[in-house]
Chain A
Amino acid sequence: MKKLTLPMDDETRTSLKAGESVLLSGTVYTARDAAHKRLVHMLECEEPLPVDLNNAAVYYVGPTPAAPGHAIGSAGPTTSSRMDAYTPVLLDEGLRVMIGKGRRSEAVKEAIQKHGAVYFVACGGAGALLSHCITESQPVAFDDLLAEAIVRLTLKDFPCFVGIDAQGNDIYDLEDTPVSETGKM
């Protein structure tokens, strides 16, 4: 399995292929519905953003509160398509990596290609497992949004697949799923 570190350089990012299995380590920012709405509103009002989006990675997640002794609670991906309306604007601002689940709009796919960005898909409904791959969690902005606040996370070998690559290939359109060597029925 390919190990990748965030932030990622252009060459690494654009060489990824939809369907590849990867382990991500490094910094990502959480943001989902309400945070996206606010970020885009701030851009429209020409206000400074609370995060530097240049070559940034965003994870669409609203974790459960961390229990004592844990960095974070359950933290699996939410449905990415709800962020589609806001995504092209954020890609224009420098966002390059997204992690979520499910299909994206054509407009998002085009913007991914235009910017040489990448969309990873993580396992929906595996929030307990994925919480083990998050070692730190630091509040950044919009605390009033609770689970929807922007938080800086440190990932350690976080498993996901390349969902949409810089050429616009989509994992959900791949039908020639490789057969696992040990996986004969």
Chain B
Amino acid sequence: MRTISVSAVTEAVRKACGEMAFFYSPDILERMEEGRKNECGERSRTAMDMLLKNAAIAREERIPICQDTGLVTVWIHAGQEISFTGGSLKEAVQEGVRKGYAENYLRASVVKDPLYERVNTRDNTPAVIYFDITEGDQLVIELTAKGFGSENMSRQKMLKPSEGEQGVKNFVLETIRLAGPNACPPMIVGVGLGGTFDYSAVLAKHALLRDLSRPNPDARYAKLEEELKTAANQLMIGPMGLHGNTTVLGIRIETAPTHIAGMPCAVNICCHACRHREIRL
């Protein structure tokens, strides 16, 4: 049995919250620079220039890339041979978020109740936490801090199995088109296919964590990711929605076995500031 103090989890989450807010993942930045070269319109070029300059200012001056520093989602993949000591693991994650947001001057963007009592909780908690018990004694923590400009443009549909690949393509592209300028393009698009109504959405969100240089390990889905990316860029929504060639930086698909009667499909739209980190303890 391996023992891990929950304070180590707090510390890791705290550190990741700050890093995510100030530093683009290198894979995203690389795609942004490529995108900049592909823009010849005056407005779309200005938009890409601003985004790249913004990335540099954020990094050098530690000013958040975007004022919407997001709602934190955490996946805890904990080996079943780990014993957590020193308090509540859930609370340790929340404390990490609380500390990370306060000390880095990040925005508190969470309200207590969605409908009746939209009062800010003041410390950006609670984060959404998913627990996954794995074999062995390794602890892997994945985090994302997603902004809601793009989250609001996400959709789910229970496709019929007969709709096949074309049905998936139509729904993903329709969602990107409807997101348009609201989702702060260039976007990164997570697609969750299979599972259940709810699980497809979790898959879609988790897909956003995968590095843009790593295609889907299944060649069929890797091809679908590329085809969707090409088709999405042909929509010409462009940076900032100002008409241009760079509409999406990447499309990531995650799948799961599903029911004989269904093909759940969730599309989680993310802006270019797709904040995510992976920690191994």
A and B: bona fide binding partners: yes
The residues of A with any CB-CB pair to B shorter than 8 Å are: 19, 21, 34, 61-67, 70, 73-76, 78-79, 81, 101-103, 121, 123-132, 145-148, 159, 161, 171-172, 174-175, 177-180, 183-185
- From DSSP, what is the main secondary structure of chain A's interface residues? loop
Q: A67-B105, A161-B43, A178-B42 are contacts. A73–B67 as well, Cβ < 8 Å?
A: yes
Q: Which residues of B contact A185 (CB under 8 A)?
A: 37-38, 40
In the complex the two chains form, is A21's CB within 8 Å of B43's CB? yes
Q: Which of A61, A128, A159, A180 has the most CB of B within 10 A?
A: A128
Which residues from 214 to 248 on chain B have a C-beta closer than 8 Å to any C-beta of chain A?
A: 240-244
The tally of CB-CB contacts under 8 A between chains A and B is 159
A148 to chain B, nearest CB (A): 8
In the complex the two chains form, is A179's CB within 8 Å of B40's CB? yes
In the complex the two chains form, is B67's CB within 8 Å of A177's CB? no
The residues of B with any CB-CB pair to A shorter than 8 Å are: 37-47, 50-51, 53-54, 57-58, 61-69, 105-109, 118, 120, 122, 149, 152, 180-182, 184, 240-244, 271-273
Q: A146-B120, A174-B243 are contacts. A101–B181 as well, Cβ < 8 Å?
A: yes
Q: Which residues of B contact A103 (CB under 8 A)?
A: 180-182
Q: A132-B57, A172-B180, A177-B44 are contacts. A79–B149 as well, Cβ < 8 Å?
A: yes
Closest residue of chain A to B38, judged by CB? A185
Partner of A147 from the list B38, B51, B107, B272 (CB cut-off 8 Å) is B107
Q: Which residues of B contact A121 (CB under 8 A)?
A: 181, 240
A-B contact pairs, 17 of them (CB 8 A): A62-B67, A74-B63, A74-B69, A76-B66, A79-B182, A125-B272, A126-B50, A127-B66, A128-B54, A128-B61, A128-B65, A147-B109, A172-B181, A177-B244, A179-B40, A180-B41, A183-B45
